[in-house]
Structure 1
């Protein structure tokens, strides 16, 4: 027979309404009472009827997550499992559930978000990306539906709560680091230019070159999928230029792994001949050979703070718009070295 609130109330020697308030985490209930009731809940193995509770408090206590896409390429990148872990922990702390879009195309994802909103399936939405032109963001604004963006919005920055790194500054710092090592032929290997993070990092890269008096070369600017294959394709093109780069700023660790592997196949030594620096500081960075110099962007915190911010918005309709900047740090390992004057000798494809 199922355990009821009345059973819990009897064991804890409180009223059933007090048990309900404890389950709802009502701030008016004392910590001592919460401790007694939670002990009784655990002892009896009581699990609340979430559907009935949602109807009673007019809330699903569920957050919708919108991925760039749900195809296999996204989940190949360690960034997303890490940010999802942060999102999950932030939700768990406040007893919220997560509901993820499952579409593979932009049209399917848009329809999934529309169903979440109009179907009353979620209380708010977190976008795990920021694009130049995003119909989903516009749709959420038009419907006055609570949402938070992981990344800097392309427009209306002051009107949208978002959690991000200072990607412009981070990219400028890593480019300056390579310039400080004597590199002047520095390539930028990035992802989709429709992603705001890519734009910010390109601008930081260009700014560092300009301020250091290093000539900007369009040929050194490459945009591929953020995969190992994308990194591979970029290296093949860049290293066959008349004057190939001696250093690479790469969008993320997964793409950088493709860069490293391809340079090794071409018998180009790292960091003796070419330096490589990346972003995200995933496990791939530690496991690569040599270990990858990369930027720690605290991916877990991006997710955790996004969930925290959205729940604050849901609990307080007057919550102010926030711009939360997660700090970054350059992690120096084994893929960067001083520039050499000698030309690179290519012995492979």
Structure 2
């Protein structure tokens, strides 16, 4: 025989209505009572019927996640599993589940979002990226559908809740760190130029060079996908320059790309950091296991995801919730891939 709300109420010595409010995470119920009721639910093995509850409340208790472009990038780049872990924890605290939209191209993903939203499958959406041009964002704004963005919006900054790093400052700090080591021939390997994170980091790199009175060389600026192959392709192009024109340091916009850079340099017999310093972004787990261990800008990926889900749930539960910009701190983690020029 299945356990009911009445059984939980009796065990916890509260009213059945209190159990219902705890399941709904009602803010009027004290944390002490919530803990007692949840302990009773766990002890008795009670699991709420969220489908019935959703029908009653006209709520799905589900957050939709929208990935950037091809699913290849999502499933290969360790940035996304880490941000997903933060999203999951934040959602679980409020008893929300996650549903992901992926696809082989932008059209697949756009159609998936329409089906998810118009089919009433989710209460809100997290965009795991920010693009210069994005019809998904336009679609969500036109429908006044709750959503948040991980990254800085290219437009409507004050009308979209977003969780982000100060990518301009982070990139400027990273470039200045390499400049402080004496590297004046500093190249930038960025991601897709349609992504706002690439735009912001390129601006930071350029600003650091400008303030140091170092000319910006266009052949030192390359853009590739956030994958191993992207790093390989970019560094091969740079190494085709005459020896006296090659950069002595690389600022790479993503750790997975940087791993491709390190592997390629090793195969070419170029020593890091003796011949070329490499500084990257994200500080994912394999950064310290790379050979040599990779210096990287830690952008606190987990926190980006955690705060995105928390703020989306706030917007879902209160449509009058003010739009917010949440900035997650960054720091440079130095390892053995960077050295003096």
Q: TM-score range by the shorter chain?
A: over 0.9
Partners of 2:142 and 2:306 lie apart in 1 by 26
Q: What secondary structure does 2:250 align onto?
A: strand
Tell me the equivalent position of 1:252: 254
What SS does the corresponding residue of 1:81 show, helix, strand or coil? Answer: helix
Partner of 2:26: 26
Farther off after superposition, 137-146 or 109-118 = 109-118
Which ranges of structure 2 fall in alignment gaps of 5 or more residues?
A: none
Among candidates 336, 340, 347, match of residue 338 of structure 2:
336
Do the aligned residues in 2 keep the contact of 1:70 with 1:101 (CA within 8 Å)?
Answer: no
- Match of residue 233 from structure 1: 233
Q: Which residue of 1 aligns with 2:118?
A: 118
Confirm or deny that 1:320 pairs with 2:322: yes
The 1-side partners of 2:23 and 2:168 are apart by 44
CA distance in structure 1 between the aligned counterparts of 2:31 and 2:275, rounded to whole angstroms: 62
1:337: Cα distance to partner? 1.5
Picking from 243, 265, 269, the partner of 1:267 is 269
Per-residue CA deviations over 1:253-291 (Å, capped at 9, x if unaligned) read 110011111111111111111111000001121011111
Distance 1:303 1:165 in 2: 12
1:27 CA drift (Å):
2.6
Residue number in structure 1 paired with 2:38:
38
Aligned pairs for 1:291-310 (under 5 A) are 291-310=293-312
Q: Which residue of 1 aligns with 2:191?
A: 191
Q: CA deviation at 1:320?
A: 0.9
5+ unaligned residues in a row in structure 1: which ranges? 340-349
Cα shift at 1:227: 1.2
TM-score by length of 1: 0.94
Change in Cα spacing, 1:70 to 1:7, as seen in structure 2 (3 Å) is farther
Partner of 1:280: 282
1:314 Cα deviation (Å)? 1.4
Deviation at 1:70, TM superposition (A): 5.3
Cα–Cα, structure 1 residues 257 and 10, in superposed 2: closer, same or farther, change >3 Å?
Answer: same
Match of 1:127 in 2: 127
CA contact (8 A) 2:70 2:106 kept: no
Provide the residue aligned with 1:161 in structure 2.
Answer: 161
Q: How high is the TM-score relative to the length of structure 2?
A: 0.96
Cα distance, 1:261–1:318 mapped onto 2, change above 3 Å: same
Query: What aligned pairs does 1:33-112 form with structure 2 within 5 A after superposition?
Result: 33-69=33-69, 71-112=71-112
1:109 match: secondary structure? helix
> Superposition pairs for residues 138-157 of structure 1, below 5 Å?
138-157=138-157
The Cα offsets for residues 101-136 of structure 1, whole Å up to 9 and x where unpaired, read as 132221111111111111111111000000010000
Shift of 1:216: 0.8
Aligned length: 339
**Secondary structure class of the residue paired with 2:269:** coil
Q: Cα–Cα, structure 1 residues 175 and 39, in superposed 2: closer, same or farther, change >3 Å? A: closer
CA distance in 2, matches of 1:237, 1:164: 31
For residues 40-89 of structure 1, what are the alpha-carbon distances to aligned partners after superposition, in whole Å with 9 as ceiling and x for unaligned?
A: 32222111111110122221111000011452332111100000000000
For residues 233 and 101 of structure 2, the distance between their equivalents in structure 1, rounded to whole angstroms, comes to: 30
- 1:275-318, Cα deviation, whole Å (9 max, x unpaired): 11000001121011111111000000000010111111112222
- Say whether the 8 Å CA contact 1:174–1:249 is kept in structure 2: yes
Supply the distance in 1 between the matched residues of 2:220 and 2:232 (Cα, whole angstroms).
Answer: 15
Report SS of the residue matched to 2:158. Answer: helix
Structure 2 counterpart of 1:347: none
Cα deviation, residue 32, structure 1: 4.5
Cα deviation for residue 14 of structure 1 reads 3.6
| CA deviation after TM superposition for structure 1 residue 37, in Å | 2.9
Give the superposition deviation at 1:146: 0.5
Contact 1:19–1:37 (8 Å) recurs in 2: yes
| Mapped contact 2:91–2:310 kept (Cα < 8 A) | yes
